[in-house]
Amino acid sequence: MISFDPAKAELILFYRKKDQARDFPAILLGDTPIKPQESIRWLGVFLDSQLTFKKHVRNWSSKALQAANFLRSLNKTRKGSPPEAVAQAAKAVVLSTALFGAEAWYTGPTKSSWTLSKRKPVRAGDEHLLKEINTSLKAAARAVLPVWKTTAIPILHRESGIPPARVLLDQVRLRQAARIANLDPRHPIVKRVVTRGRYQSRLQTLAGLAPSCKRPFILPH
């Protein structure tokens, strides 16, 4: 028999429009009422009621910025750690923190919109999320290259080897698509990426980025 700890139970309700938000009643788990929350954390990913992922990006970008500022404190314009060592640390810590869980929310620069039964690409509208990430990335680039504040941003990205958020997120999508393409045919995700009809889910769109190839098959012993 499975037993649940009410103290660790969380409840969240998902809805599309803001006007659907209201004071939802709590549910009872045994004798303990569980009230709906605005967001919950699941495997490190913050899920909010409208799946905007604003809290998720803000949380991890803030942690990445703290790490980048610490690296910046080690370097000055005249003396400091070797740029190669700082660049390696920035890529290992700052980038991985800022991009944590990006596979769950990033859909690319465009997304599909249905109008009169036709699908057309529209802007994803994620500029505010990318702005949060770019703040930590620029701080990491300045940690690698302790230059003056007037240095142009494109030069910072080029010389530090730390690309802008859009480039890094597109790389994350391509790597995820490649992982899906290499899954065993019997994997549950493989069944979900098969497109049936005109509508494609986020997962199906992501899987379509990788070229079609023969999937590996684990032979029985």
Q: Which of 81, 195, 59 is nearest to 146 (CA)?
A: 81
Instruction: For the chain, give the mean pLDDT.
Output: 85
The percent of residues in the chain predicted with pLDDT above 90, rounded, is 38
Mean pLDDT, range 13-24, rounded to an integer: 74
Q: What are 32's strand-pairing partners?
A: 29
Residue 188: φ, ψ to 5°: -60, -30
Given a cut of 80, is residue 21 above it in pLDDT?
Answer: no
Give the number of other Cβ atoms within 10 Å of residue 145's Cβ: 18
Q: Is the model's pTM score more than 0.85? A: no
| Choice between 7 and 166, residue whose per-residue pLDDT is larger | 166
Q: Is the pLDDT of residue 114 over 60?
A: no
User: Buried b / exposed e across 76-108, counting CB within 10 Å, b at 16+?
Assistant: eeeebeebeebbebbeebbbebbbbbbbbbbeb
2 vs 89, more confident: 89
Residue 201: what pLDDT? 81
pLDDT at 115 over 80: no
Q: Is the pLDDT of residue 1 over 70?
A: no
φ and ψ at 52, to 5 degrees?
-85, -20
Question: Of residues 195 and 103, which shows the higher confidence score?
Answer: 103
Q: Look at residues 123, 121, 100 and name the one whose alpha carbon lies nearest to residue 172.
A: 100
The residue type at 9: A
Residue with tokens 């103290």: 7
The per-residue pLDDT for range 160-213, each reduced to its tens digit, is: 999 999 999 999 999 999 999 988 888 899 888 887 777 778 888 888 888 887
Q: How far apart are CA 221 and CA 205, in angstroms?
A: 35
For the segment 22-67, what is each residue's pLDDT rounded down to a tens digit? Answer: 677 888 877 888 888 888 899 999 999 888 999 999 999 999 999 9
pLDDT band with cut points at 50, 70 and 90 for residue 140: very high
